[in-house]
Structure 1
């Protein structure tokens, strides 16, 4: 039962509404207004929509909600998804510590949008913009989960966001087809080196490089492809290394599980290596080490990819901390993924197909990363004429411009 109480204090006369709230210790919450009219309107609205009486009160505080969300992520998987990986759970726990550090003054069920806005302001003042955005995104997930499970009436955080600064505000580096051809030719030479150790090393690195350029997979995906995933002239992507490389896991999102057609040359090269040279291992790995483990991504980048860049002459001059001239590889392994995407765009592959091949969960990601390339390709194929030239017009009139 709601009631209104008149208060006479330092700020003059105010009107306090006491109303039922399942998320509080006493079962009631309070809201103060300057006028009786405002207080009555709030009381009547609350009485007509007694949602709070129907809420599950087992979780009362924001901290309890965060802990429950972490438990769901680890054991059940949120919103129908698989449970998160150990690495992702560690990331969520670090963000949870930040969320809990904020001085939440209200019970979970009493949170309103302005409270979330205040939390956002605190995040932006106390942390980097990128970390603030990621933490707020996790808080969104907490509130959404609590609303779905009946602990709060609605998702009061839905409209509060921090705009992301795109990772690709700076132009992404994309090797040209000629540069990729030079990389592959370098791998061919290294695999046929007179130095037996170099040739042996590149017997494995060569098919990896070809696969990276021909599939657009992420390094953490193509380094751990399974022998059983090679079939029908392509590769089935089902797993990836967790960040840090310490654990073999499923792909980051369900969208990462996909089938990619390969060029016959690449398919035959990778399959031949898998059947004749792959080390025995318990993980069905194509590119296993001699000890039966997967390749380390840092080792592949430094000893494999960068070596190919140097052999191909794809290096730039820079200076180290002592001011000495050094040669720096022009590209990184991930740039071959951008090359693959650029080839899809050049072939006019539609957005949804491109999204699937790149393993993006949302087509917005595809457009955000490669939208400028798509726009460039479209401009190159367009006829150049003004909009007025498309209008049906009567051309019998005399030209004013040509009049004396």
Structure 2
């Protein structure tokens, strides 16, 4: 039978609930609360007592990691869909890094300083990017177990490895002039006198226009289904997994979105899909001759890089002592261009987040913050401090004062 006992100590008055438990030698367990109301609620709540008992039992880090992996594979974290097979492989690889650390205590006895020590170990033994991702996965595991009542609190909160330093280079974004050059190059290649080149660019040209006009990720437009095209734009709801071997849903729910397209782009893409693309069981807009999807490597090397060379968008690089011409941009940079145009056109930041398929607006700000600042600076009235002080003075320059 449960009872409540009032305790008065140096920290004030608390209320201790004693309740039956099979987990202790005495047959009773205890929980302390700051108010009588909380104590009574706990006494009546059998589920809360079971969660507390579960959280008090020793749980190794390896066991916690396995619970988390099972949830990711079979249920999906936080109500999300289960992860793809390829993503699960990545999770398992990083889970092995977590388990490789010599944890000093059971999982439910760890504290923030223990996680800080783990972070130091990661940074000494792995790249900064790898350390950041592994620590993020560890925190995700802790949160999952807290939500399931197997841990009492999130002791890993606030311990992280920042994604980048303030000295990192911002993303490289093509200019409008360079995009015009690139699209013009695609037009020329599609109308080339060499029939083989022209036939190849029947597919690459609408693909390039779509990439510029939509900001889609390459792994999204490479497996775009015909049914997702409308007279207004395109729905994005599937993508290649990171291994490029399977079509899956977009990585996050935020990746599923609708994007408006220019009429010319819609006409070009629909014409190819309806009149030129070979039949295929995946309903692909841009299938290969055998009805499967184009690999991202082939698109980059045979399509995009060819267009860059044709457009003169190359840079000189020194490789093994020789100077060679290399493409100035990568296919993903078209996505950055799309975002920069949204920013330049003063599109609402939340809408930019949705159109880019970012699950967190902080991602949008981290990648494009410098573009937002530049656009705002160009449109604002310049507010040079000393100059404004001079204008308000009685004709005498502040800078010339002794």
Give 2:92's aligned residue. Answer: 93
Instruction: Name the Cα RMSD after superposition.
Output: 2.7
d(CA) in 2 for partners of 1:63, 1:330: 45
Is 1:208 aligned with 2:207? yes
* Separation (CA, whole Å) in 2 of partners of 1:277 and 1:53: 61
Aligned to 1:294: 293
- How much has 1:203 moved relative to structure 2? 0.4
Alignment deviations for residues 210-252 of structure 1 (CA, whole Å, 9 cap, x no partner): 1011111111111111100100320111111111211111111
Q: For residues 62 and 52 of structure 1, what CA distance do their matches in structure 2 show?
A: 21
Residue 232 of structure 2 corresponds to 233
- 1:245 counterpart residue number: 244
Does residue 1:381 correspond to 2:365, yes or no? no
Q: Could you state the TM-score of these two structures normalised by the residue count of structure 2?
A: 0.83
Listed as ranges, the matches of 1:72-151 within 5 Å are: 72-151=71-150
Q: Which runs of 5+ in 2 are unaligned?
A: 1-22, 34-38, 40-48
In 1, the alpha carbon distance for the partners of 2:361 and 2:31 equals 44
Q: Summarize deviations over 1:330-385 as a string: whole Å, max 9, x none.
A: 11111111111111111111100111111111111111111111111111111123
After TM superposition, list the pairs within 5 Å mapping 1:334-353 onto structure 2: 334-353=332-351
Structure 2 vs 1, CA of residues 117 and 196 (structure 1 numbering), >3 Å: closer, same or farther? same
- Count of equivalent residues: 357
State the TM-score, normalized to the length of structure 1: 0.82
Are residue 364 (structure 1) and residue 362 (structure 2) matched?
yes
- In structure 2, the residue matched to 1:172 is 171
Other structure's SS at 1:294 match: coil
Q: Residues of 2 paired with 1:271 and 1:143: CA distance?
A: 47
Answer whether contact 2:223 2:238 (CA < 8 A) is retained: yes
Q: Distance in 1 between matches of 2:261 and 2:396?
A: 61
Which SS does the other structure have where 2:326 is aligned? strand
- Which consecutive unaligned segments of at least 5 residues does structure 1 have? 1-25, 29-45
1:174-196 per-residue CA deviation (whole Å, 9 max, x = no partner) reads 11111111111111111111111
Cα separation, partners in 2 of 1:47 and 1:214, compared to 1, 3 Å: closer
Q: Is the 8 A contact 1:55 1:152 kept in 2?
A: no
Say which SS state the counterpart of residue 231 (structure 1) adopts.
coil
Note the alpha carbon deviations across 1:296-330, whole angstroms, 9 max, x for none.
00000000001111111111222331x23321111
Query: 1:54 Cα shift?
Result: 2.3
